Amino acid sequence: MSSHEESRMGLLEGITAPGDLDRLDDRDLGRLAAEIRGFLVSAVSRSGGHLGSNLGAVELTIAVHRVFRSPADRILFDTGHQAYVHKLLTGRREGFERLRTRDGLSGYPNRAESVHDIIENSHASTALSYADGFAKAHTLRGQHDRNVVAIVGDGALTGGMAWEALNNIGAARHRPVVIVLNDNGRSYCPTAGGLARRLGELRGRGPGEGGETGTFFEELGIAYLGPVDGHDVPAVEAALRRAKDLRVPVVVHCVTVKGRGYAPAEEDPVERLHSPGPFDPGTGVQHPKPATTWTGVFGGTLVKLAEQRPDIVAVTAAMLHPAGLGGFAERFPDRLYDVGIAEQHAVTSAAGLAYAGFHPVVAIYATFLNRAFDQVLMDVALHGLPVTFVLDRAGVTGDDGPSHNGMWDLSLLQVVPGLRIAAPRDGTRLAELLDQAVSLTGPSVVRFPKGPLGPDLPAVATAGPLDVLARAEGEDVLLVAFGPMTAVCVAAARTLRDAGIAATVVDPRWVAPLPEELAELASRHRLVAVVEDNCRVGGAGDGVARLLRDHGVDLPVRTYGIPRRFAGHAKRAQLLEEFGLTGEAVAAEVAATLESRDRHLVRHAEPV
């Protein structure tokens, strides 16, 4: 391709692999960076996605791919949502037309997309441990010509796992690992903690004044280069080449600006357009969002409860605004603790607060609580402490793919002794159950999905603590609904009624402990069907089956939920349909099960 043709079509269109960067000079690299930013703003404005973190990593990623040779050199991203530029430089420009859609481009590194994506790490603070493992493997195999590069940014270094890895990396000077610290001073919000303060001191030294000694990294046995202007490609390249030649563990400290080059992101005081939905690329204004969301109801209710209860405090792990705590932080700034990306610390710190007489509310995404299961079990539940865990994004979340679907919490948490778990079906029940949870003297969980709230679903009757949402003449099937699946069950009951099948829909409100009245109600039906927004294995359905067995109720129990597999990225509605979690699909399955059961009973009743 001639330089004239390349100029006319744009440099980015000529980049199909990292090696294409080698022919560009410094002026070309500046043009390429500008093109990438324009492309990202345009693409993300249509699909939504992670914008600010990628705008801040443009020059840094270009420099990494000019110095190192992927995939022979292992290039690892942590967090993975800063890898959009990497995707562009590895030939996936056209894929951005379907970013974060079913069968489209993932918003994170994805091994199925490219040999240049090594790990699919959308949970933060993991890449350094992977890097340590790769470095050990290269040493064992005598592959001394391969490099391991971990790009750590967006607050990922605050995670405890990252520090466990640094401790091991620094202890082995003969195993080189290049740690590119993409220091934009933020995760969603400004990075919390003493680490942020110390990095700020290093940033204040100015380019090149850090030297190789006298930093806390060096004290761990890891060389330090920087600080480097992360938006100066030649400067970053020079630091990376030096780090590569040292052949020891080394941190290259690159100072960047989240949202760089796009004024609406740079000027955003809250999240720097961290993860916007579709927006107007000219202004950065996001398209209208639902007026009422699950997260919004939680946040507003918590503020009201805290106004009545001075013992209520809130804890979050770098998710203050996404988890709905923005209003709480404004109203009670001294009672809000953002510990950074450190879920294990968040839980046990909350246990300490509870020991001292407070009632902590730990607001966290359901998928991230997986990382602190041991702390929930041994540090909170073992001591019977009054800590309430509020799990946002429970169940199918969709666009962010397999790592973010909150489909594991009910399977994990039901084994925890003394832990009460609530699954509200609508906004009114969310407020009521949160009120109940913070009034308990032991640990509790309130879980709810991502997205807009549907209309409230009032009960038509009650059966003890059970809410009955639908009841028909006759009692063929009992639909036990949890959380937002209640609306699905009500729709299924209508379809079954039209087919002449009588269905009762009941919402226990609490997944654990289940009301014992459920067993008596179930015994009056021919079939029990449980519908939940969680993995079918070990989920609410297993809890219902266990309750019936314990009470001697011998009935078939069918569970409809998320299959035990990693679900790809797609819209929530698409995945729910795929999993059969719609009113029509549940009704069809229930009808088929009853028909099969009737045929079986007839066969066994016939004389031999």
Whether residue 606 is annotated as binding a ligand: the answer is: no
- CA-CA distance, 388 to 312, in Å (whole number)? 10
Which residues, in sequence order, are bridge partners of residue 560?
531
388-392: strand order across its sheet: 336-338, 312-316, 359-365, 388-392, 444-447, 420-422, 510-512
Whether residue 155 is annotated as binding a ligand: the answer is: yes
Whether residue 512 is annotated as binding a ligand: the answer is: no
Sequence-ordered list of residues with C-beta below 8 angstroms from that of 310, at least 6 positions apart, any chain: none
Look up residue 371 and give its DSSP letter.
G
Half-sphere CA count of 553, side-chain side, radius 13 A: 23
Where in the sequence numbering do the catalytic residues fall?
Answer: 258, 343, 371
Whether residue 122 is annotated as binding a ligand: the answer is: yes
Whether residue 221 is annotated as binding a ligand: the answer is: no
Report the b/e string of 528-552 with b at 16+ CB within 10 A: bbbbbbbbbebbbbbbbbebbeeee
- CA-CA distance, 38 to 136, in Å (whole number)? 40
**Torsion region of 52: left, alpha or beta (phi above 0 gives left; psi -120 to 50 gives alpha):** alpha
- CA-CA distance, 181 to 135, in Å (whole number)? 18
On whether the CB atoms of residues 449 and 483 are closer than 8 A, the answer is: yes
Whether residue 266 is annotated as binding a ligand: the answer is: no
- Encoding tokens for residue 101? 């859609």
Sequence-ordered list of residues with C-beta below 8 angstroms from that of 158, at least 6 positions apart, any chain: 125, 187, 191, 192, 193, 195, 196, 318, 339, 340, 341, 342
- CA-CA distance, 172 to 175, in Å (whole number)? 6
Whether residue 124 is annotated as binding a ligand: the answer is: yes
Look up residue 522 and give its DSSP letter.
H
Report cis status (omega within 30 of 0) of the bond before 234: no
Exposed / middle / buried, residue 523 (Cβ in 10 Å: 0-12, 13-18, 19+):
middle
Q: 74-78 and 148-153 as β-strands: parallel, antiparallel, unpaired?
A: parallel
The sign of the CA dihedral 460, 462, 468, 469 is: positive
**Residue whose pair of structure tokens reads 């090594």 in the numeric block:** 118
Whether residue 184 is annotated as binding a ligand: the answer is: yes
Report cis status (omega within 30 of 0) of the bond before 71: yes
On whether the CB atoms of residues 156 and 114 are closer than 8 A, the answer is: no
Q: What are the CB-based long-range contacts (under 8 Å, 24+) for 241-244?
A: 241/67, 243/178, 244/67, 244/68, 244/147, 244/178
φ/ψ of 323, rounded to 5, equals: -90, 5
- CA-CA distance, 50 to 57, in Å (whole number)? 12
Report cis status (omega within 30 of 0) of the bond before 227: yes
Q: Which residues are annotated as a binding site?
A: 81, 122-124, 154-156, 184, 262, 343
Q: Which residues are annotated as a binding site for Mg(2+)?
A: 154, 184
Q: Which residues are annotated as a binding site for thiamine diphosphate?
A: 81, 122-124, 155-156, 184, 262, 343
